[in-house]
Structure 1
């Protein structure tokens, strides 16, 4: 018996292997079918997410039997346990598991369960064949080491196969999803039924478009799983029937949260409140469109979310914050043309648009004073300052503007709303 496995190069180990293990190996091949059923039964009991139906069970029986026959052949000739070629039936289990969205963890645990059954069976057989304790101990050590090496190599190969298949399958599925989404957003796809089929997502419902992104992430990390979990959690929070997520780069994703009944303002408020609690482990930003229904609403809400993200970037929104389109619509519309926006702000505000913190505080106070219908007390409460400070800053603003604040202040309100974005607006 020639073997490339180092422990069997030693003469005494080689002799014990030939006298004890090789004979048991032949028995293993003869009982492979029965043992495969025992392995599959244990997996079905311990890993219901892995063996979820009759087809998965039959597939696992076939995989286990093929592996057992391979083990039997290798053991009988004293072959190197690291020289593993996964049987076709085992490859089928891994690839099908990817398509059934089975996680990698239960698949790897299935190897440990199979190892448990096979080791117990082999140990019982060599114990029956070997009356001498010293020989039995050596045979058990050799067989245990061999089986561990075989299972370790097999599970590593299966893990590589699973990850490769998952990456290829996800790329393929995601590419099709992205293409379908782009067709809808660009207006090339206008058939609701056909688009729903392509996406695997019902477009006849009510939708809220969302953009989630990170400004930065640790080098070498993949933020997409965290963004996906966040978006799924937000969907659960508002009782969504479905959440559709599309990655849009290494650190951003677009998504739609949908349900059969209409969304209210309170639902959008829940999203904003929940983000900070959900995302304590990382620091994303969210932009949210207004709810819409059907294919048109699907398109419009995501377009609005994109504009809300643009505004969030312009105003330097804090990480962990949510920017709602309905709260920044004026800024979003007015900053589509940066030159016009800048000209309006400077033309209306004059010196109040100066790029220093003291002047900016005066302008910010004036904006909130106008939002609160000229109420010093309500503005003070929002700013957490004294009402007299509000009055003082309003007088400062009037002095800089060169006129009193009156009732016809639409242009002024728009200019003040645009001011936070002014510093990041591109200039000629």
Structure 2
């Protein structure tokens, strides 16, 4: 066995120390791998992944040892095939890049401890031991900095490719479900889209009208996950991009009574929610309801960051009636007369009359909902009927529907 001699250079002494460890590569690899599996839980996996991890650790240690033994500049070293393949495999399994970087840092620390012990056990004097350790430290740090850049680039390229492929497959499966495939294998499809189709589903449609931001889909996906956390959805949510500014989402919920959360502050994000409904049929129906709600908001001119739910009174009826807004506008004017004008005063009168009729013609009930005095409601109702130009006793249903359409579509169905 070669011992570092007193007359050797520091580089030669370092090479001798590393040479003594090179014959124990299997032992060094096993010790380092055990530590990584204990310290980085995300790296634990099946036997195949663990074996590839071992090959990765061994290849990296062998590569850096060779660089030290033969004086090879780190920039001339080629990344080990096993290291690059391990990075790709982690990307395919959604293991975070942070776990990969931690593994390299922890592994580096463990190998340095082993090297330090080998240096202390050598016959070198104390000063030469310090010089050798400093030499090895410099080379290994340059190597770790270099190799982490290589594996992270490989990881990110594979992650992007894998996500694009998986998202495309996922989108195809989802569209198949929405188009009414009655032969859906629930368990196989749930596995394919990684979402529990047997549950009760709350569907969301999210979109930006336009945006200069480059992370619109990221904003939407974060909102969906925050929403899921707020309503106690423990399982994985399903989010898929319909285009750059539009996303579809489903959240598995325990109850069919789920609150609709406000859109995120400061983001011009619109959200339309369906009702929570069970099974594959509910998965489809809740999504269609969200699409109807979206159509209403879009026709009305949604404004900055609005959110609506199909559970809101009259929204689905407004959506079904909104197929031809030109005809709706004419009909609303015929039913409401001058009360269908776009002025702010008529808007207050319409809203008061709408709430009054929905409350069963109760002035007290309407006053409570509108936070107005009883007499104020009574005055506004009388004034609204006066503006209309005729009583509401003979065609009350038409009036209620017209008021509902005005409430949801606003200026889109009002006279100028």
Smaller-chain TM-score bracket: 0.7 to 0.9
Deviation at 1:320, TM superposition (A): 6.5
Q: Is this contact kept in 1: 2:17–2:119, CA < 8 A?
A: yes
* Runs of at least 5 residues in structure 1 that lack an aligned partner in the other structure: 1-14
Unaligned runs of 5+ in 2: 1-7
CA deviation string 1:323-343 (max 9, x = no partner): 225530111111122222222
In the other structure, the counterpart of 1:191 is: 183
Q: Is residue 348 of structure 1 aligned with residue 340 of structure 2? A: no
Output the CA distance in 2 between the equivalents of 1:172 and 1:301. 27
Of 292, 300, 310, 1:324 maps to 310
Alignment match of 1:57 (pick from 47, 50, 61): 50
Deviates more, 1:389-398 or 1:54-63: 54-63
Asked whether 1:41 is paired with 2:27, we answer: no
> Secondary structure of the residue that 1:248 maps to in structure 2?
strand
Counterpart-to-counterpart distance in 1, 2:203 and 2:70? 62
Task: Check 1:116–1:216 CA distance in 2 against 1; reply closer, same or farther (3 A cut).
Answer: farther
1:297 lines up with 2:282 in the alignment: yes
**Structure 1 runs of 4+ with >6 Å offset:** none
- The residue that corresponds to 2:213 in the other structure is 219
- Secondary structure class of the residue paired with 2:185: helix
C-alpha RMSD over aligned residues: 2.9
Contact kept? 2:239, 2:250, Cα under 8 Å: yes
* Structure 2 counterparts to residues 147-296 of structure 1, below 5 A: 147-187=140-180, 189-193=181-185, 196=189, 199-201=193-195, 203-214=197-208, 219-220=213-214, 222-235=215-228, 237=231, 239=233, 243-258=237-252, 263-264=255-256, 266=257, 268=258, 270=259, 272=260, 275-276=261-262, 279=264, 284-296=269-281
- How many residue pairs get matched? 402
Contact 1:84-1:154 within 8 A present in 2 as well = no
Q: Which moved more, 1:391-400 or 1:280-289?
A: 280-289
Deviation, structure 1 residue 364: 1.4
Contact 2:337–2:388 at 8 Å: present in 1 too? yes
Superposed CA offset, 1:31-71 (max 9, x none): 22111111111111111221244443322111100111111
1:267-296 CA deviation, whole Å, 9 max, x = no partner?
Answer: x3x3x1xx24x9568674432223444444
What is the TM-score with the length of structure 2 in the denominator?
Answer: 0.86
Say which SS state the counterpart of residue 373 (structure 1) adopts: coil
The equivalences for 1:394-413 within 5 A come to 394-406=381-393, 408-413=395-400
Deviation at 1:424, TM superposition (A): 4.2
Superposition deviation, residue 353 in structure 1: 2.1
Distance in 1, Cα, partners of 2:176 & 2:319? 24
2:112 paired with 1:111: no
How far, CA to CA, are the matches of 2:23 and 2:413 in structure 1? 77
Tell me how far apart the structure 1 counterparts of residues 265 and 321 of structure 2 sit (CA, whole Å): 34
**Structure 2 SS opposite 1:49:** helix
TM-score (norm 1): 0.83
- Structure-2 change in CA distance of 1:255 and 1:360 (3 Å): same
- Matched residues in 2 for 1:118 and 1:282: separation? 48
Contact 1:213 1:285 in 2 (8 A): yes
Q: State the shift of 1:102 in Å.
A: 1.2
> In 2 relative to 1, CA 159–347 (structure 1 residues): closer, same or farther, beyond 3 Å?
same
Question: Contact 2:341/2:414 (CA < 8 Å) preserved in 1?
Answer: no
Partner of 2:411: 423
2:203–2:248 contact (8 Å) kept in structure 1: yes
Evaluate the alpha carbon distance shift between residue 242 and residue 116 of structure 1 in structure 2; reply closer, same or farther with a 3 A threshold. closer
Alignment of 1:93-112 (within 5 A): 93-112=86-105
Give 1:171 shift. Answer: 0.6
Q: 2:9, 2:236 → 1: CA distance?
A: 61
Q: Secondary structure at 2:316's aligned position in 1?
A: helix
1:85–1:378 Cα change, 3 Å: farther
Larger mean CA deviation between 284-293 and 25-34 belongs to 284-293
